[in-house]
């Protein structure tokens, strides 16, 4: 586990977070998860519809 994964509040779900999807080039999945944003990641600023899609969710 690297330092960035440790900054994630739910590291077991980190492979499906917006930052990982971006690094993998999975833009369609990112678009689907950010279509109706309710939270933003306090770490990277990514917006998503569900808190479980980002590392450090905060309400919008």
Alpha-carbon distance of 32 to 50, in angstroms, equals: 11
pLDDT (tens digit per residue) in 12-53: 999 999 999 999 999 999 999 999 999 999 999 999 999 999
Q: pTM value?
A: 0.83
Alpha-carbon distance of 3 to 34, in angstroms, equals: 25
Alpha-carbon distance of 57 to 50, in angstroms, equals: 9
């Amino acid at each position: 586990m690297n330092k960035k994964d440790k900054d994630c509040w739910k590291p077991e779900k980190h492979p499906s977070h917006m930052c990982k999807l971006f690094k993998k080039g999975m833009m369609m999945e990112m678009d689907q998860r950010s279509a109706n944003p309710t939270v933003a990641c306090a770490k990277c600023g990514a917006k998503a519809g569900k808190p479980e899609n980002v590392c450090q969710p905060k309400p919008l």
